[in-house]
Amino acid sequence: MSIYACQKEKMMFLILCFVLLFLVQVGYAKGSEKQSPKLSKHFVLVHGSCHGAWSWYKLMALIRSSGHNVTAIDLAASGINNQQPRDIPSISQYFKPLMNFMTSLPPNKKVVIVGHSLGGLAIARAMETFPEKISASVFISAAMPGPTLNVSTLMKVDLALATTLMRPLYLYTDEDMSKELKLSHKNYGSVSRVFILSNEDKVVTRDLQEWMIERNPPDEVEVIEGSDHMVMMSKPVELFVHFLHIAKKYY
């Protein structure tokens, strides 16, 4: 066989391989499309103090590429929300975008709700109001109040977070937060809860995270080694893997 004929045969073989690979991928994609309505999860991401939905951009890309749904919320006067801090003097107004979104979900829709830092207070409020719409809650280096851990005892967290401001944050009173965050065992306590501990967090220190965990034990604790306070940026892949585990286990 001539060199030309041999090269031609190899080329034809490679083309055939590429065609077969393409057909397999198309068939897999179509199969995935048929299964996705049942298998896909919906993650709702809530940012920390003075940040916004933008802080989740790495996680959002990973979640979407895996075939799941994701919604990142801008709380009031945060991210691209056009309100100003002076316009939202109560923490209930600060939570309103999240509460509106949860209200908009159909009764049979369940989500995995994730709160980072001060966003833990927002998802705690959602857990109390919409427990039937939440399959699991995830607190990432977050303020995690509970039925027996009043938010007033977490003021130390708020003061620490104030050093990381990106947009101005209205500093809500202890009385206002305690009034808004009345959490019950019946509602808040019925939602599966996971705490993700950032090992190298300099804002919400490991001691403070462990203090909250001890006084308000979640169903599960995961540790991300070497992660700082903005774990969604410093360790996005590791965080994403935990998300998939949580969704599969609790959804």
Q: Which residues contact 110 (CB under 8 A, 6 or more apart)?
A: 42, 132, 133, 134, 135, 251
* 117, 137, 141, 198: the active-site residue: 117
Residue 51 known to be catalytic = no
Sheet with 69-73, side-by-side order of all strands: 69-73, 42-46, 111-116, 134-140, 193-198, 220-224
Would you call 158 a catalytic residue per the annotation? no
Q: Which of 198, 201, 227, 242 is catalytic?
A: 201
Pairing status of strand 69-73 against strand 111-116 = unpaired
Instruction: Say how many CA atoms lie within 13 Å of 161 toward its Cβ.
Output: 27
- 78, 103 contact by CB (below 8 A): no
Is beta strand 69-73 parallel, antiparallel or unpaired with respect to 42-46? Answer: parallel
Contact 11, 87 (CB under 8 A): no
Q: State yes or no: is 201 an active-site residue.
A: yes
Q: Which of 42, 47, 51, 229 is catalytic?
A: 229
Q: Which residues are catalytic?
A: 117, 201, 229
